[in-house]
């Protein structure tokens, strides 16, 4: 490092440095921009160089009296040197150039294969969540000016920080204010000057001290100050009066017990000094606490109007530490905090943990210099003990972690030796913990703990406010998520679709991958029913891995529990694949273990199991997983638990619905007639539509079956009502018709006996309209029909000339009267004639006040001349459907019979 000696001639204003360019010639500030000093150092490409570079810049700027820009300069240097020695893997040269109004710092590396960005391409800034790539972002945010210069073998990134304007010779000043705004004080402000020797005893006591506290000097000199100091024992603060007296500088409030027994609140400023013989002592200046403005050090870095900014706003201590503008999100705020803390104490790493609501655990939320991806959202207990985070509630310094293994679990295996941790507290409640660590032992003492505690006190409230805001957003998002999930799950009763919805709602919102195990009954083993990964190409490998391990135990205890089996199995599979690949040819190595290693990385993180409990029975398990070294947030686990309860009920409802649908469909199919026989010389077509979703059989029915003497019985009927009750009478009617007709009974006798059977049902009986007939094909090509129409819509006959007429007369319906006398009528269908039989769901089709009716049906039938039986039935059904926009509310049946015309040669 080289400095310009007094008397040396500086280079001309605006002259270029031979190696590092020049200061910006566009600088029109009135103060001199002449380079007055230069310091340079080269750092090797090792991790420790980053901390060394920070110390170099800090020492250089403080030596130049540039304390106002030290923090920003250290932050920028740290990021740029990290890019060079860590990410680019090359040595970094840091050059500090001092001028009268600011400092320029250059960081150069020698990355020989660096790609020069095209001027036409957009600049893509790095993500704030990444460890590297943020140097230029920070330069843009903090530096007065900055730039990048490329050469074939070097890259220079430079930034300039201007000193704040202030009057010559003035360190800090306050604005001119009215008399009413000045601090109140007694008629005479007394400043007690007390000197404490190295043993902690009072060695000097001035007259103002005697006036303030009532003790003469001879009474108190030689006695320990601790006998008179009323030190505040604030929970979570370990720095006492003895420690404060040994610090190089300290400011704060405490009390002094006066001679009259009362405690006088004082504000004190301690300064550690040494005499010519090297003996240390502490000089204490004390004033009444309400007169603290006399001694309190103004916030560093303010403009000449130290109490107010240019816009009239009061200076915020939080912004002084964190920088302005402050990040507007919690993660950004926490990341900025750990970076500033690390740089402030010249550490190699820093971390910040936030407390859970019950203050029993701490969750890792931000780190720098540590493997953040591995530690993020990991939790450690607050309680003391081996392997626990025992220093959370009070400041602590560990000079050598190797002597106290497990004292800070977060740093295990990181190579950090010394660490200082302080609590973040809001109104006495623990909200988090902030720590800075270094690779070397003995790097930190109580002085650094006090500095870090001051910083933590400045940011604690802002962090807690941001955390509460994040929790509120998460809770609102959780409510919206659960409402949407409930709607989706309630919208289906299909089991497979419910399983798919469960998985799709958790991936990737709550987890990286998901598996659903189902349990058919208490005697069945869990079955892997569904697997989903956010990367579809990994689903097969994940399913194969889970298929090789035993499923989790179906424990009904609510809440998520850790399931280590998948991660363990993935690790073992990857290890076995790696061992096997050693015997393969080199060109097989990548393809042989690639899939296994990919699957292992997918399930190598935290895996949890949530029981699916419905109606006091475990019906399955929901398994959620993270990739390697990743952890779940507690808020996400609580949300997953709420989702699992809703999903379990939806899954059980779909199971019950599927079972009942299977039973219902089986019973309904038993009520439908088997395949209808082919009638020689006669075309027969049937269309049947049952009303209601999922119903295959309703109150309408039809049948066509063989009876003795080469005849065929046919029937179309309508039971009062729809649904299962009507379907029960349908089954009775259809089976009774077949049985009685095959016993040789005539049509009227068949219906009379069916009428008695319906009446015997008592309260379960329902009246029934029925058209029954016997069909006998004739040798001349015609067909002879004997029909009985018991209260049913009359059958219509379509002749070849297009005329339509009723083919029977109406008679009483069944199921109403005991003594029923019916008769049959004979109808002959000539070649080309059509007989149309329908139920009242056809004729009573409505659109508003209009009804299709018998006349409307006859008009439709008139247009069916020359059509086959199937075409006639289809045209009638199409006309009925188009008659009204609404879905049919009644069962509908159509039976058509047509005697085809003889084919001509």
Vertex 163: Cα angle to 160 and 169 (nearest 5): 155
Backbone angles phi, psi at 127, to 5 degrees: -70, 135
In this prediction, residue 393 has a pLDDT band, given cuts at 50, 70 and 90, of low
- Lowest model confidence (mean pLDDT) among 298-312, 377-391, 544-558, 671-685: 298-312
- Collapsing DSSP to helix, strand or coil, 57 comes out as helix
pLDDT computed for residue 481 by the predictor: 67
Q: What percent of the chain has pLDDT over 90?
A: 20
Q: Higher model confidence: residue 440 or residue 318?
A: 440
Q: How far apart are the first and last CA of the chain?
A: 119
- For residue 788, which of 858, 853, 837 has the smallest C-alpha distance? 837
- In the DSSP assignment, the letter for residue 69 is G
Distant-in-sequence, close-in-space partners of 334: CB < 8 Å, separation ≥ 6: 352, 354, 365, 366, 463
Give the tens place of pLDDT for each residue, 702-712. Answer: 899 999 888 99
As a dihedral over the C-alpha atoms of residue 378, residue 380, residue 382, residue 387, rounded to 10 degrees, the angle is -160
Mean pLDDT for 523-550 is: 85
Q: Higher model confidence: residue 184 or residue 237?
A: 184
Q: What percent of the chain has pLDDT over 70?
A: 77
Mean pLDDT for 230-242 is: 60
Give the tens place of pLDDT for each residue, 444-457. Answer: 888 888 888 888 88
Give the tens place of pLDDT for each residue, 38-66. Answer: 888 888 887 678 878 887 888 788 777 78
Structure tokens at 138: 């920070």
3-state secondary structure 747-812: HHHHHHHHHHHHHCCHHHCCCEEEEEEEEEECCCCCEEEEEEEECCCCCEEECCCCCEEECCCCEC
Integer Cα distance of 890 and 840 in angstroms:
8
Whether 634 shows a pLDDT value over 50: the answer reads: yes
Mean pLDDT for 876-898 is: 88
- For residue 562, which of 516, 614, 607, 529 has the smallest C-alpha distance? 607
- Collapsing DSSP to helix, strand or coil, 632 comes out as coil
Q: Higher model confidence: residue 733 or residue 861?
A: 861
Structure tokens at 329: 């999100």
> What string of DSSP letters covers 505-539?
HHTTTT-SEEEEEE-SSTTSPPEEEEEEESSGGGH
Say if residues 716 and 699 touch (Cβ distance below 8 Å). Answer: no
In this prediction, residue 474 has a pLDDT band, given cuts at 50, 70 and 90, of low
Q: Higher model confidence: residue 553 or residue 659?
A: 553
> What string of DSSP letters covers 372-404?
HHHHTT-EEE-S-STTS-TTTTS-EEES-GGGS
Say if residues 593 and 574 touch (Cβ distance below 8 Å). Answer: yes
Whether 248 shows a pLDDT value over 80: the answer reads: no
Vertex 117: Cα angle to 112 and 123 (nearest 5): 135
* Average of per-residue pLDDT values in the chain: 78
- In the DSSP assignment, the letter for residue 127 is P
Mean pLDDT for 619-643 is: 81
- For residue 188, which of 208, 205, 214 has the smallest C-alpha distance? 208
pLDDT computed for residue 326 by the predictor: 62
Integer Cα distance of 155 and 100 in angstroms:
27
Q: Higher model confidence: residue 216 or residue 81?
A: 216
pLDDT computed for residue 29 by the predictor: 41
- For residue 283, which of 206, 371, 367 has the smallest C-alpha distance? 206
pLDDT computed for residue 176 by the predictor: 67
- For residue 667, which of 687, 643, 648, 690 has the smallest C-alpha distance? 690
Q: Higher model confidence: residue 631 or residue 163?
A: 163
pLDDT computed for residue 828 by the predictor: 93
pLDDT computed for residue 16 by the predictor: 38
pLDDT computed for residue 191 by the predictor: 93
pLDDT computed for residue 123 by the predictor: 41
Mean pLDDT highest for which of 99-113, 210-224, 394-408, 756-770?
A: 210-224
- In the DSSP assignment, the letter for residue 543 is H
User: What residues are paired with 713 via a beta bridge?
Assistant: 705, 774
Structure tokens at 410: 């977060």
Vertex 312: Cα angle to 306 and 317 (nearest 5): 50
Q: How do beta strands 804-806 and 892-898 pair? A: unpaired
> What string of DSSP letters covers 430-475?
EEEEEEEEESSTT---HHHHHHHHHHHHHHHHHHHHHHHHHHHHHH
Vertex 199: Cα angle to 198 and 201 (nearest 5): 105
- Looking at the whole model, is its pTM more than 0.85? no
Whether 600 shows a pLDDT value over 80: the answer reads: no
3-state secondary structure 356-376: CCCCCEEEEEEEECCCHHHHC
- For residue 561, which of 607, 508, 612 has the smallest C-alpha distance? 607
- How many CB atoms sit inside 10 A of residue 709's CB? 8
Structure tokens at 862: 């008139």
Establish whether the linkage from the previous residue to 817 is cis, with ω within 30° of 0: no
- For residue 436, which of 353, 366, 338, 354 has the smallest C-alpha distance? 338
User: What residues are paired with 880 via a beta bridge?
Assistant: none
In this prediction, residue 368 has a pLDDT band, given cuts at 50, 70 and 90, of confident
pLDDT computed for residue 275 by the predictor: 85
Integer Cα distance of 790 and 750 in angstroms:
12
pLDDT computed for residue 724 by the predictor: 67
- For residue 431, which of 346, 362, 339 has the smallest C-alpha distance? 362
Query: Positive or negative, the Cα torsion across 406, 408, 410, 412?
Result: negative
Distant-in-sequence, close-in-space partners of 840: CB < 8 Å, separation ≥ 6: 718, 769, 793, 890
Give the tens place of pLDDT for each residue, 279-290. Answer: 889 999 999 888
Integer Cα distance of 775 and 132 in angstroms:
91
- How many CB atoms sit inside 10 A of residue 637's CB? 17
Mean pLDDT highest for which of 4-13, 27-36, 626-635?
A: 626-635
- For residue 776, which of 680, 686, 869, 684 has the smallest C-alpha distance? 680
Q: How do beta strands 834-838 and 892-898 pair? A: antiparallel
In this prediction, residue 498 has a pLDDT band, given cuts at 50, 70 and 90, of confident
CA distances from 804 to 59, 494, 597, 716, 836 (A): 112, 48, 79, 20, 10
Say if residues 794 and 770 touch (Cβ distance below 8 Å). Answer: no
Structure tokens at 302: 């303010």
- Lowest model confidence (mean pLDDT) among 242-251, 432-441, 675-684, 797-806: 242-251
Q: Higher model confidence: residue 418 or residue 375?
A: 418
21 sits in the region (left: phi over 0; alpha: psi -120 to 50; else beta) called left
pLDDT computed for residue 590 by the predictor: 46
Mean pLDDT for 629-642 is: 77
Mean pLDDT for 669-688 is: 84
The number of residues in the chain equals 905
Whether 13 shows a pLDDT value over 50: the answer reads: no
CA distances from 152 to 17, 116, 149, 359, 492 (A): 19, 10, 10, 56, 65
Mean pLDDT for 533-541 is: 84
Mean pLDDT for 351-379 is: 73
Whether 627 shows a pLDDT value over 60: the answer reads: yes
Integer Cα distance of 898 and 866 in angstroms:
10
- Lowest model confidence (mean pLDDT) among 333-337, 557-561, 597-601: 597-601
Distant-in-sequence, close-in-space partners of 410: CB < 8 Å, separation ≥ 6: 351, 353, 364, 370, 375, 378, 380, 389, 435
pLDDT computed for residue 39 by the predictor: 87
Backbone angles phi, psi at 323, to 5 degrees: 95, 160
pLDDT computed for residue 319 by the predictor: 58
Say if residues 210 and 191 touch (Cβ distance below 8 Å). Answer: no
- Collapsing DSSP to helix, strand or coil, 182 comes out as coil
> What string of DSSP letters covers 554-615?
-----S-EE--HHHHHHHHHHHHHHHHHTTS-GGGHHHHHHHHHHHHHHHSS-EEEEEEEET
Integer Cα distance of 19 and 42 in angstroms:
14
């Amino acid at each position: 490092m080289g400095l310009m000696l007094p008397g040396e001639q500086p280079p001309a204003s605006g002259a270029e440095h031979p190696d590092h360019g020049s200061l910006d010639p566009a600088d029109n500030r009135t103060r001199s921009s002449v380079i007055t000093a230069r310091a340079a150092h080269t750092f090797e490409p090792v991790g420790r160089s980053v901390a060394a570079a920070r110390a170099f810049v800090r020492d250089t700027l403080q030596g130049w009296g540039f304390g106002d820009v030290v923090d920003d300069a250290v932050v920028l240097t740290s990021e740029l040197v990290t890019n060079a020695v860590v990410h680019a893997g090359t040595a970094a040269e840091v050059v500090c150039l001092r001028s009268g109004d600011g400092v320029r710092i250059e960081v150069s590396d020698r990355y020989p294969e660096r790609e020069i960005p095209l001027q036409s391409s957009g600049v893509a800034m790095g993500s704030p969540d990444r460890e590297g790539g943020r140097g230029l972002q920070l330069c843009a945010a903090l530096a007065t000016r900055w730039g990048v210069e490329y050469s074939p073998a070097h890259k220079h990134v430079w930034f300039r920080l201007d000193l704040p304007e202030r009057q010559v010779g003035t360190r800090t000043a306050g604005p001119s204010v009215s008399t009413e705004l000045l601090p109140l004080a007694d008629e005479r402000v007394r400043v007690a000057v007390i000197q404490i020797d190295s043993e902690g005893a009072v060695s000097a006591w001035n007259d103002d001290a005697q006036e303030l506290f009532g003790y003469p000097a001879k009474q108190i000199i030689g006695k320990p100050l601790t006998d008179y100091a009323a030190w505040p024992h604030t929970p979570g603060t370990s720095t006492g009066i003895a420690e404060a007296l040994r610090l190089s500088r300290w400011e704060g409030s405490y009390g002094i017990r006066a001679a009259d027994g009362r405690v006088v609140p004082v504000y004190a400023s301690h300064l550690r000094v040494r005499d010519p013989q090297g003996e240390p002592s502490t000089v204490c200046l004390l004033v009444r606490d309400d007169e603290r403005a006399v001694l309190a050090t103004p916030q560093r870095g303010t403009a000449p109007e130290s109490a107010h900014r240019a816009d009239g706003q009061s200076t915020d201590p939080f912004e002084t530490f964190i920088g302005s503008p402050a990040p507007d999100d919690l993660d950004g705020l926490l990341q900025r905090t750990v970076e500033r803390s690390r740089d402030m104490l010249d550490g190699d790493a820093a971390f910040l943990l936030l407390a859970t609501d019950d203050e029993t655990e701490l969750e890792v939320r931000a780190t720098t210099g540590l493997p953040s991806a591995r530690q993020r959202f990991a939790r450690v207990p607050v309680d003391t003990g081996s392997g626990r985070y025992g220093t959370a509630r009070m400041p602590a310094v560990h000079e050598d972690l190797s002597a106290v293994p497990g004292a800070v679990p977060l740093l295990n295996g990181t190579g950090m030796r010394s660490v200082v941790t302080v609590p973040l507290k809001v109104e006495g409640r623990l909200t988090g913990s902030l720590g800075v660590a270094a690779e070397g032992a003995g790097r930190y003492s109580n002085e650094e703990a006090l500095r870090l505690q001051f910083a933590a006190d400045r940011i604690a409230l802002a962090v807690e406010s941001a955390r509460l805001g994040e929790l509120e957003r998460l809770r609102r998002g959780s409510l919206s998520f659960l409402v949407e999930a409930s709607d989706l799950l309630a919208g289906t009763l299909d089991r497979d679709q419910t399983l798919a919805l469960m998985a799709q709602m958790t991936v990737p919102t709550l987890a990286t991958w998901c598996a659903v195990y189902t349990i058919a009954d208490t005697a069945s083993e869990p079955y892997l029913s569904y697997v989903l990964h956010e990367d579809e190409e990994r689903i097969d490998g994940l399913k194969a891995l889970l298929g090789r391990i035993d499923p989790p135990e179906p424990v009904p205890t609510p809440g998520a529990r850790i399931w280590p089996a998948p991660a363990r199995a993935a690790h073992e599979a990857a290890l076995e694949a790696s061992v096997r690949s050693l015997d393969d040819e080199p060109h097989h190595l990548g393809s042989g273990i690639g899939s296994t290693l990919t699957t292992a990385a997918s399930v190598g993180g935290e895996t949890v199991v949530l029981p699916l409990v419905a109606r006091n029975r475990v019906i399955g398990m929901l398994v959620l997983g993270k990739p390697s070294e990743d952890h779940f947030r507690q808020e996400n686990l609580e949300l997953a638990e709420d989702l699992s309860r809703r999903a379990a009920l939806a899954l059980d409802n779909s199971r019950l619905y599927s079972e009942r649908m299977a039973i219902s469909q089986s019973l309904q199919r038993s009520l439908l007639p088997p395949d209808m026989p082919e009638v020689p010389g006669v075309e027969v077509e049937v269309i049947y539509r049952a009303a209601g979703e999922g119903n295959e059989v309703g109150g309408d029915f039809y049948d066509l079956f063989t009876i003795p003497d080469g005849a065929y019985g046919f029937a179309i009927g309508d039971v009062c009502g729809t649904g299962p009750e009507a379907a029960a009478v349908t089954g009775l009617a259809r089976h009774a018709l077949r049985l009685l007709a095959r016993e040789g009974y005539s049509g009227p006798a068949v219906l009379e006996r069916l009428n008695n059977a319906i009446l015997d049902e008592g309260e379960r009986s329902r009246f029934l309209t029925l058209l029954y007939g016997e069909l006998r094909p004739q040798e001349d090509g015609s067909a002879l029909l004997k029909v009985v129409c018991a209260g049913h819509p009359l059958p219509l006959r379509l002749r070849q000339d297009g005329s339509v007429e009723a083919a029977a007369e109406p008679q009483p319906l069944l199921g109403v009267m005991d003594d029923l006398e019916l008769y049959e009528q004979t109808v002959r269908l000539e070649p080309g004639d059509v007989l149309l039989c329908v139920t009242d769901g056809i004729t009573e089709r409505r659109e508003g006040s209009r009804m299709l009716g018998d006349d409307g049906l006859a008009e439709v039938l008139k247009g069916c001349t020359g059509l086959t039986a199937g075409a006639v039935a289809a045209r009638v059904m199409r006309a009925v459907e188009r008659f009204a926009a609404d879905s049919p509310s009644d069962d509908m049946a159509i039976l058509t019979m047509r005697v085809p015309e003889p084919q001509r040669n």
